[in-house]
Structure 1
Amino acid sequence: MPISGSEFDFVRTLVRREAAIVLEPGKEYLVEARLLPLARAAGERDVPAYVARAMRDRAQHPKIVEALTTNETSWFRDSSPFQAFEQRMLPDILASRTDDRVLRVWSAACSSGQEAYTVAMVAHDRLAAAGWRLEITATDISEEMLARGRAGRYSQLEVNRGLPATHLVKHFQRVGADWQVSDQLRRCVRWSKLNLAAPFPPGPRYDVVFLRNVLIYFDTATKRDILQRTARTLRSDGWLLLGGAETTLGVDEAWERVVIGRSAAYRPQARIPAGR
């Protein structure tokens, strides 16, 4: 049985309130597909029955929000942002910084960790050779995705999605039918839960923030708020990378757009005072 209009409204209101994700009318099919496993696990006969239960049982709410969080990801996704990171951002930071020899990167909405580990593969050896340390903060709203990222273990199908064979051989070990990220790279990444629509916790200022393919799920006001708070997490000479379908233009004009090869990056136009 398909979900009713009132059931869909309950789910979309819940997800909007808890995660600021906008589910437009017409996305009923997505809600049904994502909630069906939860309904089965809860012993309910179908999705409408599960939603009715969730209306009475607040313990189901985090499960619904997590189920409706998009977890699409791959290694070196879109490739050009990582080329910009390697060929422009890293050299600029290494050349201009003499005091603090730590590169701090934030992978926001990191999903199951492919982006964070891609950054580590690109930067680790170059930084180590220059006497620098790499610190990556990987955050996501989904505890399940964070657990997968911490484990650093991926199926053959997952490593086939964009991971060059040279990196697979160098940075992974075979574990049964899966592939395990090396301990060296795993030590570079710290994982924590974060809702981008909520205030950010205190933390370091980052050199590079990967905020890719997530703003598209928010309305304009939420996008602007996230961008403004993200600016306050960046060093004054820091860089922001967005997804190919995302931009700060027309949303938050406090950013300078910089074209690097086939990619665009963003920098704060003026020094941003610390804060979240």
Structure 2
Amino acid sequence: MKKYALVLILVLVIGFTAGCLGGGSDTTTSSPAVSSSPGTTTPTTTSQSPTTTSQSPTETPKEVTTDELLQWVSALNQYTYVSNATISMLVVVTQGNVSQRDNVTLNIIERGYMDFESWSAVINTTTISVPDGASTNTSRIVFNNVTYIRTPLGWVKSDDPTTAEFVWKYNIVSLAKEYLKRTPDERENGERLVLRYHLSDYEVRPLATMYFATTPDTEISVKDGVLELYFENGRLVGGRVSFSVSAKTSIDDPTIGKMTITQDGSWSETIRITSINEKKNVEAPST
């Protein structure tokens, strides 16, 4: 089991790197304007809260609107987050005339910092096989619209703007800014407000492709995509992205050899925002 968990981890790392370097995602957003410059910046903290109306104990609190939520989210300039994604897969690895079937579960823990003023980001990722504990670490730094990816082979530089665009499009704040313009499919009011959106195949496919497509001809299908946005006191505190995915990949790599890997399962990622509007310094690594 551990052997195939390691294989799948390598596939994910190779696939993500290949997707980044090859512009594998189907993002269509324009490149963000870059206004950052090297140097140390002084951390600053500012917070904005939505306008509220005082209520008497007998009055029913006014339901916050998506326009009000969007106004608050749009005021976020920087944020840090922790995310935990779980991949549960039935994996079939075929090498020569031998096939191995395994149920594989991977946890992907991500800690990141996003800065929408300087368009810089730092994202550290640990991928762990459960219950074996086999793991690998990767990092991404976005600086001046250039993405630097640390793999087991060292830092790799990508000048392709679509690589940075993926980071800016598929993060919880950018998703909130986009989907709050729409009417949610479901709304759960309570101590924590939950807005739920059902995603179509084309909305989820770029995310699945970035993580699961290791070659240009990888066959991928996705369904049951869901985006949840979590709010407390009118403020975005996190969310969840989930979908089902099937992928078939043929690998010919000097590290792991020739093989065909099919994966059928699900992806579920929960994101928790840990700070907002705190400026941090981001520098490009030496390559």
Q: Report the TM-score when normalising by structure 1.
A: 0.26
Structure that is richer in helix per residue:
1
- Greater RCO, 1 or 2 (C-alpha within 8 Å, sep 6+): 2
Q: Report the TM-score when normalising by structure 2.
A: 0.25
